[in-house]
Amino acid sequence: MSYVSNTAADRQEMLQTIGAASILDLLSPIPQSVQLNRPLNLPPALDEMSLVRHLQVLAAKNADLESNLCFLGAGIYDHFRPAVINALISRGEFATSYTPYQPELSQGMLQAIYEYQSLICALTGMDISNASMYDAATGLAEAALMSCDHSDRTEVLVLKTVNPHYRQVIDTYLRATGYTLVEAPFKEDGDTLESVKSQITSKTACVIFQQPSFFGSLEDVSGIVELAHSNGALAIAAVDPISLGLLKPPGEFDVDIVVGEGQSLGSPMGFGGPLLGFFACKKQFVRSFPGRIVGATVDQQGRRGYTMTLRTREQDIRREKATSNICTNEALLALAATVYLCELGKTGLRHIADLCLQKAHYAREMLSKIPGVSVLGSHLPFFKEFVLKLPADPVLINKQLLKNNIVGGLPLGKYYPEFENGVLLCVTETKTKSDIDHLVSSMSSALGVR
């Protein structure tokens, strides 16, 4: 029987075994100037009941979405989650399963992953999908590396209308592998094509854009794809999966690689994670793209079966032949997305997307009537997010909104200095007319408008 030792004698014996005279020897690499040379200032120990009550008090300080309205998007969204999702993904055979290396023991999980891949292909209009990535940001970075390897080119062109966090991750990956990130500037008039034309060169491996853009507006997808292909580059789209309930899938625009954040498909916001990256592409890249693929086949008796068909991770094959160092996937969240899409179906997803569209347009119209508030990019079509310019600091306005139990939008000045006092707001199907009217009233009060 194994146990955890906690006696002074046992601790001393372990130190002697590793050649250390004391615990302090283990801390010797840490400079004295940053070591804490006093006991931790901790309160006395509590019994279990008191500890639970104390933790409940601490948890109540969090601005949860059960007691607050959320109009914050920018990559993670407050969408409704049908109860059937938790009922299925919490089952032991799913919640505790790991990588299904033994197909004879993992047919259920393998089938679930196969169905997920099939749904992502149907949603995006692409030929193949892998069995999920960590998130959209790392998925785009992997797509960028894949494009450079495929084309033997060294530059990745990314529109500045792509989520700034995504761009940071892409830049980190590229700098570590010797490639270069080039950013295409944006204009308030939304002329994306001119920005791409000014930056694309013979070194460009791919053009990465976001549809809808980070600002919620719709890009000229066909124009971007045509421009990329005419210059020998791949076209990579980062998409909002909910928007595909209304918009034409990127596969119909001849996009080469499609990446997106699948958190909207049945996963909670969860204080920023965990997330789900989906990755789909044309069949010609099947031997190049990252992650893993589950395939369907039949056994000798003609019975349908599932198995892991391709695994390109570096632990499974020789490192020099690996196409990615992605070491796992987000199978549980991929299962949640599968349940979500099956529960809604085509009609349900279209209805959710339409609700987002209509409610966001109503919110922008009403907010823009507040004196001093203006809409940035008002001539551009948009989906569920939009940018307003406020006559005051959005950070201060958000603090006032929170007093009215409203989580406000994202202040843009930190990421886009040219958008001083700009705020990115998001409206999903979960918001009612009274919720939006409450936002408008609270915004008016926070701005000192009566």
pLDDT digits (tens, 9 = 90+) for 291-341: 888 999 998 899 999 988 876 554 455 566 667 767 677 889 999 999 999
* Cβ atoms of 251 and 258 closer than 8 Å: yes
In the sheet that holds 155-159, the strands lie side by side as: 128-129, 277-281, 257-261, 234-239, 204-211, 155-159, 180-184
> Three-state SS for 19?
coil
Helix axis angle for 394-403 and 433-446, nearest 10°, is: 120
d(CA 378, CA 365) in angstroms, rounded, equals: 10
Closest-CA residue to 278 (of 251, 256, 257, 260) = 260
Residue whose structure tokens are 């399963």: 97
CB 214 within 8 A of CB 74: yes
Number of other residues whose CB lies within 10 A of the CB of residue 296: 15
One-character DSSP codes across 216-234: SBPP-HHHHHHHHHHTT-E
Domains, in order of start, for the chain: 69-80+348-446 (3.90.1150.10), 83-340 (3.40.640.10)
Q: How many CB atoms lie within 10 A of CB 82?
A: 13
Distance CA 230, CA 256 (A): 13
SS3 164: helix
From 272, 242, 159, 263, select the one nearest 427 (Cα to Cα): 242
pLDDT beneath 70: ranges in the chain: 1-6, 311-322, 325, 327, 450
Cα separation, 398 vs 380, whole angstroms: 26
Task: Give dist(CA 372, CA 450) in Å, integer.
Answer: 12
Residue 311: CB atoms within 10 A of its CB come to 15
**Tokens, residue 108:** 């259920």
- Which of the 8 DSSP states describes residue 248? P
**Which residue, among 140, 135, 117, has the nearest Cα to 127 in the 3D structure?**
117
Residues 6+ apart with CB under 8 A from 385: 73, 74, 212, 215, 216, 360, 424, 425, 426, 427
The whole-number pLDDT of residue 252 equals 97
Q: Residue 130: which of 317, 266, 330, 268 has the closest Cα?
A: 330
> Coil, strand or helix: which one is 326?
coil
CB 106 within 8 A of CB 353: no
Give the Cα separation of 149 and 343 in Å (integer).
39
C-alpha to C-alpha distance for 21 and 186, rounded to whole angstroms: 61
Nearest alpha-carbon partner for 280 in 448, 42, 119:
119
Q: How far apart are CA 443 and CA 367, in angstroms?
A: 8
pTM for the structure as a whole = 0.88
Among 185, 158, 192, 188, which residue's Cα sits nearest to residue 172? 158
Q: Residue 314's pLDDT is what? A: 44
The answer to whether the Cα torsion of 123, 129, 131, 133 is positive or negative is: negative
